[in-house]
Structure 1
Amino acid sequence: MQRLLMASAAAAAMFCASQALAQSSNNMEKLGQFRTTGTSMQFETVDQTGEFADQIRKNLENVKLPPGFKIELFAVVPDARHIAVGPQGIVTIVGTRKDKVWAITDRNKDRRADEVKRFAPSIDFVIPNGVCFSKDGFLFIAEQNRVLVFPAAEFFYESPDVAVGEVVKKGELIPTDEESFNHTARVCDIGPDNKLYITLGQPFNVPAPEKLDKYGKWGIGGIIRMERDGSNREVFARGIRNSVGMDFNPANGELWFTDNQVDGMGDDIPPGELNRATGPGQNFGFPWYGGGKIRTNEYKDSDPPADVVFPEVEMTAHAADLGMLFYTGSMFPAEYKGGIFSAQHGSWNRTNPVGARVMFTSLNEDGTAKETKPFAEGWKQESGEYLGRPVDVAQMPDGSILVSDDLAGAVYRISYQR
């Protein structure tokens, strides 16, 4: 009897799952034809008031910034990860490592959220971490194994039904047998060449040699690029363990990206990385190098590629460098213009945790890195407890910056007053 009940329950679960998958596929087909799906207009929203928001504001009192800067709670956003600010300044989209994407609206322009609601609830997402806007208003979302595009997202986001297209169909971003629970938070960006760039983290701490040819072909452990319609896919960069942050230098179009390096080698090695790609086809050394010029144990007897590009900046080991941004605004003092703000998520693999802060890297006139130093810190207590874990940095139209935090479930706004 017990076996019969278990079998019946399993069959019911499989039936429900297949029904949900069919419904999701059916919704995508309808949306692609501009038809309604029947999804309720009763959006899932997030309360922006009350004890939870008040406590986050209190926690922010611990964050230290240079003189003249101020940090405030912009929005309560569950599991907040990467941020895409709409080019018209109407909506800010926030991705997650779960199954939801959030839309933030500041209707009265007081620089705090009036509304946070679920974006495109008629679509089932799978790890929709990577969100990015094109200058002409197309929103791209890079999931675990699919890439979607939302034309006129700043207009359609008010409805549960949205205009949507598939840039890369489900199961075609990476081979389905390489889908993993690890290192699958993609990020995306539109380059100065108007192509779509996507990071593809490889799932292992250090992959086995027999994986390298396959990963090299697909761009797993690298950065790929393609036309905005998904055509002409190519591998732009290789030798990257797990990049979860990139941006283009507006001064010369070069792509910079962060990389999270090998765990288990010790508290102080290998360093995290801030890398600079001066063109396509470069190799950044993983898995022969675990971070910086530190060789991995697994590949110490194997010759690395001769043309490895080493990091522009070596960051503190295990600080978990994630999202980054070239600052182009006019609100901050002149020394910040053209420099890089980057988020350190904070350690899990270190006796004494480090990170949980926002860093700033200034650049020399020749485009190389000049100096890196903490800009905002204090989310990590002396006891090692985290009050928050920064993930991404984005720039608002007024020149302030936003910082996401997936531990607190919040987005902060940092501004400057002369």
Structure 2
Amino acid sequence: MSVMSMFARVVALVGAGAVAWRRAQSETPTPAWGNAPVVPEAKPQGAIPTLKMPTARGWDAGQLPTVADGLKVNAFATGLEHPRWINVLPNGDVLVAESSQVASRIGSLFSYAMQATMRRAKALGESANRITLLRDRDGDGVAEVQQPFMQNLNQPFGMALVGDTFYVGNVDGVVAFPYTQGADSITAAGKKLTTFGTGGHWTRSILPSPDGTKLYIGVGSLSNIAESGMEVEKGRAAVYELDIATGEYRIFGAGLRNPVGLAWEPSTQALWTVVNERDGIGDETPPDYLTSVKDGGFYGWPYCYWGQTVDDRVPQDPALVATAIKPDYALGGHTASLGLCWMPAGTLPGFGDGMVIGQHGSWNRSKLSGYAVVFIPFENGRPSGPPRDILTGFLAPDEKVSYGRPVGVTIGPDNSLLVADDVGDVIWRVTGA
């Protein structure tokens, strides 16, 4: 056993002690979900934050996630290397970005503890830096072809095809590549269109506008609450808009700590995102959220959360706090809601129009949350009811190990729902039973 692995076990024991102590101090709060959640008062955790992350185990042979009534699930592809995001090409090929968070400089005992814990949970490691092509030739719901589509990228995540150009969201910026319809791979050199800071929240999702003239890109913060100052956070915690014709790009929505999944609501053409909120002030405080993104809107980070609730740990900007927009729909505290896609009515039996969300799962609360794929129903362009589970069972009942952790979600070429699982190294396929 390595020194870091041994240290991870020690950290887990210390974390368990902190969890037990905090549970003894207060009742378990009601999960903060929906349009009008009850968000508990902040309780700063200080130098010893709650740290509880299950060990990554993976799936046993024949083991599957638990699927909602009326649905079934199968493995569309296995043996991947930390699959994070999915993109479906017009010819039905499925592309999967395989990448990981990589270790940063260790500046404190806490950062060493975090890295040790994240490695044990398979949330940190060597990045494959690859996009893999999956092809189901015979239509049986399993990809017979699994081969490299692009290699030697830089922590790739978001992908988009617009016309004959394929866009990749590397950690340091969006890169454009020439694409030939039906190609098995891209080997041509790309053109870098944007530059983003690296480190911290590293995923760079991409979503084309419905008319194909613009790209929208999610860029997360470097830190939790700008503890190293706002200068290093410049240009981060935002959704960008890139004009494809001119190459100009600008911040479209700001104050979004870590906006990852992006999706269009078709009836209103509004842009929506899921955002991972700040840590260290409680199990349900504040909740992660699903929200529409208004052009020029500010959503609070780092000064405030869930509207204009001030975070006293942060030097304040009252004028900016006064403009903060309350998000549309709470998704529970620290659920790590990452994946997002619009699912039209009829895609899965029993489900109407709404958003599907891949919840990667918490690491920093006394009772774990997330580790599920959930559905939020919509009516008239807005969330319209409580969440419904699509896939669960990614976490062991005793919360000690995770079999998988869902990330990206998208509608497959056969009208199925595809889910990237970066601990199980699987792409799951959900259909009617």
Q: Which TM-score band applies after superposition, normalised by the shorter structure? A: 0.7 to 0.9
1:350 to 365, 368, 385: 365
Which structure has the higher relative contact order (CA within 8 Å, separation 6+)? 2
What is the number of residues matched between the two proteins?
345
Query: What TM-score, normalized to structure 1?
Result: 0.76
Identify if the C-alpha distance between structure 1 residues 78 and 270 changes in structure 2 by more than 3 Å, giving closer, same or farther.
Answer: same
Unaligned runs of 5+ in 1: 1-53
**Residue 132 (1) aligns with residue 160 (2):** yes
CA distance in 2, matches of 1:91, 1:382: 32
Contact 1:86 1:154 in 2 (8 A): no
What is the aligned counterpart of 1:237 among 245, 253, 273?
253
Question: CA distance change for structure 1 residues 137 and 88 in 2, over 3 Å: closer, same or farther?
Answer: farther
Please list, as runs of the form range in 1=range in 2, the aligned pairs for 1:302-321 lying within 5 A after superposition: 302-303=317-318, 304-321=320-337
Quote the offset at 1:307 in angstroms.
2.5
1:85 corresponds to which of 84, 88, 111:
88
Flag the structure with higher strand content.
2
2:267–2:381 CA contact under 8 A, matched in 1 = no
Residue pair 2:265, 2:381 contacting (<8 A) in 1 also: no
Contact residue 188 and residue 197 of structure 1 kept, 8 A: yes
* Correspondence 1:185-204 to 2 at 5 A: 185-194=203-212, 195-204=214-223
Listed as ranges, the matches of 1:12-411 within 5 Å are: 55=59, 58-60=62-64, 63-76=65-78, 77-97=80-100, 98=127, 99-121=129-151, 124-134=152-162, 136=163, 138-152=165-179, 154-158=181-185, 162-168=187-193, 172-174=194-196, 178-180=197-199, 182-194=200-212, 195-208=214-227, 210-211=229-230, 215=233, 218=235, 220-228=236-244, 231-277=247-293, 279-291=294-306, 294-299=309-314, 301-303=316-318, 304-328=320-344, 330-333=346-349, 335-336=351-352, 338-384=353-399, 385-411=401-427
Residue 41 of structure 2 is matched in structure 1 by: none
CA deviation after TM superposition for structure 1 residue 350, in Å:
1.3
Larger radius of gyration: 1
Amino acid at match of 2:91: Q
Following the alignment from structure 1 to structure 2, what is the Cα–Cα distance between the partners of residues 230 and 383? Answer: 53
- Give percent identity, aligned residues only: 25
Post-superposition shift, 1:150?
3.1
Q: Report the Cα offset of residue 149 of structure 1.
A: 2.3
Q: Tell me the CA shift for residue 208 of structure 1.
A: 4.5
Which of the pair is proportionally richer in helix? 1
TM-score, normalised to structure 2's length?
0.74
Q: Which residue of 1 aligns with 2:118?
A: none
Aligned CA distance change for structure 1 residues 230 and 215 (closer, same or farther; 3 Å): farther
Relative to structure 1, the CA distance from residue 66 to residue 91 in structure 2 (aligned partners, 3 Å threshold; closer, same or farther) is closer
Q: 1:281 to 1:369 in 2, by over 3 A?
A: farther
Say whether the 8 Å CA contact 1:272–1:292 is kept in structure 2: no
Q: State how far apart, in whole Å, the 1-side matches of 2:417 and 2:189 are.
A: 28
